[in-house]
Structure formats: structure tokens, C-alpha cells
Amino acid sequence: MPDEAFLGLERSLWELELSHCQLTKVPNRALRYLQKLRILDLTGNEINKISPENWRGLEGSLEILILADNSLAKLPLDAFGGLPMVETIDLRGNNLREIDPAFVDVRFGKLYDDFAGGDLIVLTIGVVLILVYEY
């Protein structure tokens, strides 16, 4: 995706759906100037790695991040570093096998587990992280 893909929309674009675009990484250079972006949907791509650099420029606005049905296998401690406004992160349908234990304690506080539905939900006041393990 070109770095200037959203040029001119920096102050007006608040929701962006880039689902099923065959992305292998978060297009952070194209997203970095979207100052008003509140909802980012990256469902159904082939993203296999995330880091704090992916969210640079979105720190003051992003509230909902949807990364469902990608190829994420690991969730490092700092995966969503610098996103203080985020309320919901959806990671359903990924191949998550490794989550840094400190991630739950540091970032989201309390862990709830519902094995019947296969959903692992991490909650804290105002923040919901949805994970589904595929066995």
C-alpha cells in the first residue's frame, strides 16, 4: 500500500476497513497521519506480526482495532503499546499460540476464561480484548 494512500483524509477519516486486502503487514506508513481514525478493521488479511510501530500516529484516536482472521501466532507484551484510547481489540480467528504472560497483567489486568465457547476474554475497566484459540 502506498505511503500516501490516505493523503488529504488525515483530519476527516474516522473509520477504515481494509479487510480481505491480502495485507501481510499493517500498513503503518499509510496510517500514521490519520489523526481522527477511531476504528481500524484489518479482518481477513495475512498479517503475522504486530508491534508498537504499527500504531504510530494513532495513539490519540484509535478506539477499536479489529485484527480477526489473520495469521498472528504471538502476542508480545508491547504489541499494542502506545494505544491508550483503545477500548476493543478483536483477535478472533488467529492462530495465537503464545501470549506473553505479562501482557495480561500489565495491559489488561484481569483474565476471564470461557472454555465452553473457546473464547478467551481479557477485561479491565473500559477495555475488552477478544481472543479465540483454535485447537
pLDDT for residue 102 is more than 80 = no
| Torsion angles phi and psi, residue 48, rounded to 5 | -120, 0
CATH class of 15-132: alpha beta
Task: Select the more confidently predicted residue: 103 or 64.
Answer: 64
By three-state DSSP, how is residue 46 classified? Answer: coil
pLDDT for residue 123 is more than 50 = no
Distance CA 126, CA 134 (A): 26
Q: If you ran DSSP here, which 8-state letter would residue 54 be given?
A: G
| Torsion angles phi and psi, residue 53, rounded to 5 | -60, -25
Question: Under a CB-based contact definition with an 8 Å cutoff, are residues 115 and 104 in contact?
Answer: no
Mean pLDDT to the nearest integer, 7-15? 96
- For the chain, the structural domain boundaries read 15-132
Strand 119-124 to 110-114 pairing = antiparallel
pLDDT for residue 113 is more than 50 = no
Task: Select the more confidently predicted residue: 124 or 58.
Answer: 58
Query: For position 126, what pLDDT does the model report?
Result: 47
